[in-house]
Chain A
Amino acid sequence: NAGVTQTPKFRILKIGQSMTLQCTQDMNHNYMYWYRQDPGMGLKLIYYSVGAGITDKGEVPNGYNVSRSTTEDFPLRLELAAPSQTSVYFCASSHPGGSVTGELFFGEGSRLTVL
């Protein structure tokens, strides 16, 4: 079972470069998310999507863009990379939970370093 798949696992960028982190899930989940995890800071929500064609900002969206053209895919675009974007990025998906939070299924993460 693939679950949530992220690529690449590791990437080094120079300041000002752009790149896209890919995320795909095979569980037919409507909800998808991008989080970043910095040491000692927990997970911060960057963007989320409740279905194809619908995206919204999370807690820390500046410097990022997303799109959701299909249920399966939710790429995260970094424009003009900055050292502050050095982090581990996690994509996740879930079923809508109603009043009870559904389980978040995470990918293995993408470690990005901006030099």
Chain B
Amino acid sequence: TQLLEQSPQFLSIQEGENLTVYCNSSSVFSSLQWYRQEPGEGPVLLVTVVTGGEVKKLKRLTFQFGDARKDSSLHITAAQPGDTGLYLCAGDNTGGFKTIFGAGTRLFVKA
């Protein structure tokens, strides 16, 4: 059974701080995605990484896929209250129809 473990489970920081959240597995994935979910809404895709070692940037967010394609990290620079939410990583080896999700990292950024 493939599992994705996310850490930390919960993070509360002050506005302006930097943070990194991690997504780890013992399995290799052909691609890995990061989603962000706000209360009362469904998850929304932030990024998909495909190549081992790949780094993608989305404004203040930097995503990295591990060289062995078993892990990923999300780094946020100068966090803002608008970054508050649940960050989910999701991995897949089936072309999309059996994507598995980690339990998520709940981020709270205080003004």
Contact = CB atoms under 8 A, between A and B. Distances in A.
B42 A90 contact: yes
A100 B48 CA distance: 9
Contact of A48 (B9, B41, B98): B98
B95 A96 contact: yes
Contacts, number: 77
Contact of A97 (B9, B35, B44, B95): B95
A50 interface: yes
Interface stretch (A14-22, A35-43, A63-71): A35-43
Contacts of B88: 42-43
Interface residues of B, number: 27
Given A100-B31, A104-B45, A109-B41, A42 B96 contact: no
B14 interface: no
B43 A101 contact: no
A50 B96 CA distance: 10
Interface residues of A, number: 31
Given A42-B104, A100-B31, A101-B33, A106 B99 contact: no
Contacts of B42: 4, 90, 92, 106-109
Contacts of A99: 30-31, 95
B97 A31 contact: yes
Nearest to A58: B98
Contact of B96 (A4, A43, A97, A108): A97
A90 to B, nearest CB: 5
Contacts of B9: 40
A70 to B, nearest CB: 18
Contacts of B98: 45, 48, 58
A102 B50 CA distance: 11
Interface in A10-31: 31
A26 B52 CA distance: 34
Contacts of A106: 41-44
A59 B98 CA distance: 9
